[in-house]
Amino acid sequence: MPTYYDPEDLNLFTSIGKDAPELARKFFDYYGAVFAEGALSAREKALIALAVAHTVQCPYCIDAYTRACLEQGSDLEEMTEALHVAGAIRGGATLVHGVQMRKIAEKLSL
Amino acid sequence: MGDPQPTDLEHFACALRRRGLSLNRGPCRALQINVGLLCDLACRHCHLEAGPGRTEVMSAATMAEVVAFARRGCFELVDITGGAPELVPGIANFLAQLSEVAPKLMLRSNLTALGGPQAEPLLQTCVSRRVALVVSFPALREAQVQSQRGAGVWEKSLAMLRRLNALGYGREGSDLELHLAVNPGGAFLPADQTATEKRYRRELLARWGIVFTRLFTLTNMPLGRFRRWLEQSGNDAAYLRALAQAFNAATLPGLMCREQLSVSWDGHVFDCDFHLAAGISLGETRTHVRDLPEPPAPGTPIAAADHCYACTAGAGFT
């Protein structure tokens, strides 16, 4: 059955440079530099990427960074904790906006 | 007998030719001896399909022929592997004899077989002959280790590492070398060796007070039990493609097969333990060590097979 998401499309990522090669080059250069070992290790960056991938719910990124985390030596316990960090921030972001709700409600209420 | 060929994978030999590369022997410095397929574990990544049900072990007669060949070959290193070498009758005496003909000995152990009472004489021999140990310790989490290697392995491994440390293995300033071998828990490439060593050193010391000399990350070889799992799980094509995509020409000069010779439990010679597992003989026909006057000369071509991609991926196979 056709679907918008095909796992094989991940291997075609670089084809986005077809009609804007210079912009693609800049993006992939930047992307490579971001994930290079720096103040954070490649392993730490892969775990952050995995958490963000789940936050933006990008299946390509989840596929790529699950593999990257495993290849960087992370295990499922660490990867699951990274997801909970993302989940906690998402949940927290929802709930902290409740302060706005309360302020507005208090202003409008007798 | 060779590897089954995933349809879209360029044969390793073609990949070398296309790049103007070749795979030939250098000076033969190491003799790797696979003393048998009997093992107390049946690890899911085992390229040899070793396990408790295997009966293939090196006989006393073959051991004598191997020692004689080791003497003829003037090797710098003798590397003992299995299966579980600890379970092979006469292994301690075999090591003692080999230590007379080679300056350095290395024993590969799964840690669990080294803990049994039958292994005590071997352990004492290892200490007295200063045999370096390369031990399997694939993860820092119990669940991950046991999913790969079986129930009960985690605690036995930790206990044996502590015991080895108590004997002086892996301690700073000690000449008793204790190296950890870490392989991925599935169809993906190994982590960076330097970063992994740093993490294991920190965590093993902090959590269990364990120290070691060095750590080696190993790539899972698409052969034997692991190959079957790859096929059953539908990971075979993608895994082989990942290995091929990670081909690094810079690994060629340092490949193990260039400087070593592997001997099987029944005394036949191979370029490496992986060709041994795949049944790819050294040269045109199967050769026994008793019929080999000396190691192959530098420049001798090495057989290429698709599992060779595992040794040339990324930083290469140690």
CB-CB under 8 Å, A71 with B191? yes
CA distances in angstroms from B78 to A85, B67, B114, B278, listed in the order given: 49, 10, 19, 22
C-beta atoms surrounding B290 within 10 Å: 13
CA distances in angstroms from B45 to B42, B85, B129, B223, B267, listed in the order given: 9, 18, 31, 9, 25
Query: What whole-number distance in Å separates Cα of residue B304 and Cα of residue A64?
Result: 30
Q: The tokens of A62 are what?
A: 């989840």
The answer to whether A73 faces chain B, any CB pair under 8 Å, is yes
Closest residue in B to A73 (Cα–Cα): B191
B51-69: burial string, b at 16+ Cβ within 10 Å, e else: beebebbbeeebbebbbeb
The answer to whether B143 faces chain A, any CB pair under 8 Å, is yes
A43 contacts on B by Cβ (under 8 Å) = 191, 195, 199
CB-CB under 8 Å, B199 with A73? yes
Tokens 């191979």 belong to residue: B270
A76 contacts on B by Cβ (under 8 Å) = 143-144
Taking one residue from A and the other from B, the number of pairs with CB-CB distance under 8 angstroms is 35
Confidence of residue A7 (pLDDT cuts 50, 70, 90): confident
Query: What whole-number distance in Å separates Cα of residue B206 and Cα of residue A57?
Result: 36
Q: Which of A41, A70, A77, A79 should we substitute to test contact with B (largest number of B Cβ atoms within 10 Å)?
A: A70
Q: The tokens of B293 are what?
A: 């006057």
Burial of B42 (C-beta count, 10 Å sphere; 0-12/13-18/19+): middle
The answer to whether B150 faces chain A, any CB pair under 8 Å, is no
Closest residue in A to B239 (Cα–Cα): A67
- Torsion from C-alpha of B8, B11, B15, B17, nearest 10 degrees: -140
The answer to whether A19 faces chain B, any CB pair under 8 Å, is no
Nearest to A70 among B141, B184, B196 (CB): B184
The distance of B157 to chain A (nearest Cα, Å) reads 19
Q: How many CA atoms lie within 13 A of B23 on its CB side?
A: 26
Helix axes B120-128, B91-99, angle to 10 degrees: 10
| Cβ atoms of residues B110 and B135 within 8 Å | yes
Tokens 């998401």 belong to residue: A5
Three-state secondary structure call for residue B30? strand
Query: What whole-number distance in Å separates Cα of residue A24 and Cα of residue A15?
Result: 9
Query: What whole-number distance in Å separates Cα of residue B257 and Cα of residue A7?
Result: 37
B243 contacts on A by Cβ (under 8 Å) = none
Tokens 């998402």 belong to residue: A90
Give first-to-last CA distance, chain B, whole Å. 25
Q: Which of B146, B147, B189, B194 should we substitute to test contact with A (largest number of A Cβ atoms within 10 Å)?
A: B189
The answer to whether B146 faces chain A, any CB pair under 8 Å, is no
CB-CB under 8 Å, A41 with B189? no
CB-CB under 8 Å, B188 with A67? yes
- Number of alpha helices (DSSP H) and beta strands (DSSP E) in chain B: 12, 8
Q: The tokens of B121 are what?
A: 């004489």
How confident is the model at residue B112, as a pLDDT?
A: 96
How confident is the model at residue B3, as a pLDDT?
A: 44
The answer to whether B238 faces chain A, any CB pair under 8 Å, is no
The distance of B243 to chain A (nearest Cα, Å) reads 12
**pTM, two decimal places:** 0.88
Query: What whole-number distance in Å separates Cα of residue B178 and Cα of residue B184?
Result: 20
C-beta atoms surrounding B313 within 10 Å: 20
CB-CB under 8 Å, B144 with A41? no
Full pLDDT tens readout for chain B, 318 residues: 344 445 578 999 999 999 999 999 999 999 999 999 999 999 999 999 999 999 999 999 999 999 999 999 999 999 999 999 999 999 999 999 999 999 999 999 999 999 988 889 999 999 999 999 999 999 999 988 988 999 999 999 999 999 999 999 999 999 999 999 999 999 999 999 999 999 999 999 999 999 999 999 999 999 999 999 999 999 999 999 999 999 999 999 999 999 999 999 999 999 999 999 999 999 888 999 999 999 999 999 999 999 999 999 988 765
B195 contacts on A by Cβ (under 8 Å) = 41-43, 72-73
Q: pLDDT tens for residues A8-57?
A: 888 889 898 999 999 999 999 999 999 998 999 999 999 999 999 999 99
The answer to whether B138 faces chain A, any CB pair under 8 Å, is no
* Phi, psi angles (nearest 5°) of residue B88: -85, 125
Q: The tokens of A109 are what?
A: 């209420």
Q: pLDDT tens for residues A65-103?
A: 999 999 999 999 999 999 999 999 999 999 999 999 999
How confident is the model at residue B133, as a pLDDT?
A: 98
CB-CB under 8 Å, B188 with A73? no
Element (H, E) at B179: strand B178-182
| Cβ atoms of residues B38 and B52 within 8 Å | yes
Q: The tokens of B70 are what?
A: 């080791």
The answer to whether B315 faces chain A, any CB pair under 8 Å, is no
pLDDT at A2 over 90: no
How confident is the model at residue B4, as a pLDDT?
A: 44
